[in-house]
A and B are shown apart, each in its own frame.
Chain A
């Protein structure tokens, strides 16, 4: 069974850092593009970043460029999102997702990040 389990969310002060993790199981992790997508409370979905199978290609939404870094460890079947210089507007549920743009799309249950003093 395909599973994506996010962790690492929590309460952080503005300007702080958090590292989100996503543990994948039930499929060949190294064969898929992986994504982070977020959803602010009561708002719609916003794509954050993605990473190619071997980690060589990465893309980010403009609002997080220079602050967030997506990475993966195929040996550990894990996806990461390092978030620095966090702002109140980064408050959201962060979803780890496999292959968002294809038939293989699968999403985790999300982890809540709250940026507040």
Chain B
């Protein structure tokens, strides 16, 4: 049972902006940085955003992250067909002493 809650699905047409929310608590998102991972169908997860807002080299600037209090968000602007994937937020939880992943959001490009 995940302690980080995400909407199960999100969708948009090519070129649109899609936002995914991640709701946590004071012991995880409220105290630590948030990472976002992208998992394309049949592949391993890949780091998309680290430190709440930073993009690793190679990640398009269409992807952006933000955090406020105990919630975080991932935005995908200029949605493309290759963005169809599952997206997970994640953070360390100081109370549980575990790394927690979000429930995951499946993004569909219509």
User: Which of B15-23, B63-71, B72-80, B96-104 contacts its partner?
Assistant: B96-104
A25 CB within 8 Å of chain B: no
- B contact residues around A47 at 8 Å (CB): 90, 98-101
B1-58 interface with A by 8 A CB criterion: 2, 32-33, 35, 37, 39, 43-47, 50-51, 54, 56
- A contact residues around B54 at 8 Å (CB): 103
If A45-B104, A105-B47 touch, whether A61 touches B92 (CB-CB below 8 Å) is no
In the complex, the answer to whether B98 meets A101 with C-beta atoms within 8 Å is no
A58-117 interface with B by 8 A CB criterion: 59-62, 95, 100-103, 105-110
- B contact residues around A50 at 8 Å (CB): 99
B interface residue count range (under 10 / 10 to 19 / 20 to 34 / 35 or more): 20 to 34
Q: Give complex CA distance A101, B32 in Å.
A: 10
Q: Give complex CA distance A101, B2 in Å.
A: 17
In the complex, the answer to whether A45 meets B88 with C-beta atoms within 8 Å is yes
CB distance from A40 to the nearest CB of B (A): 12
CB distance from A96 to the nearest CB of B (A): 10
The count of A-to-B residue pairs whose CB atoms sit within 8 angstroms is 63
A interface residue count range (under 10 / 10 to 19 / 20 to 34 / 35 or more): 20 to 34
B91 CB within 8 Å of chain A: yes
- B contact residues around A109 at 8 Å (CB): 43-44
If A50-B99, A61-B98, A100-B99 touch, whether A107 touches B44 (CB-CB below 8 Å) is yes
Q: Give complex CA distance A47, B46 in Å.
A: 15
- A contact residues around B47 at 8 Å (CB): 103, 105-106
Q: Which of A46, A60, A62, A108 contacts B101 (CB 8 A)?
A: A46
Q: Give complex CA distance A107, B44 in Å.
A: 7
Q: Give complex CA distance A60, B44 in Å.
A: 21
20 pairs of residues in contact across A and B, judged by CB atoms under 8 Å: A37-B45, A44-B88, A45-B45, A46-B101, A47-B98, A47-B101, A59-B97, A62-B98, A100-B35, A100-B90, A100-B99, A101-B33, A101-B90, A101-B99, A102-B35, A103-B54, A107-B45, A108-B44, A109-B43, A109-B44
A-B pairs with lowest CB-CB distance, top 4: A105-B47, A47-B99, A44-B104, A45-B101
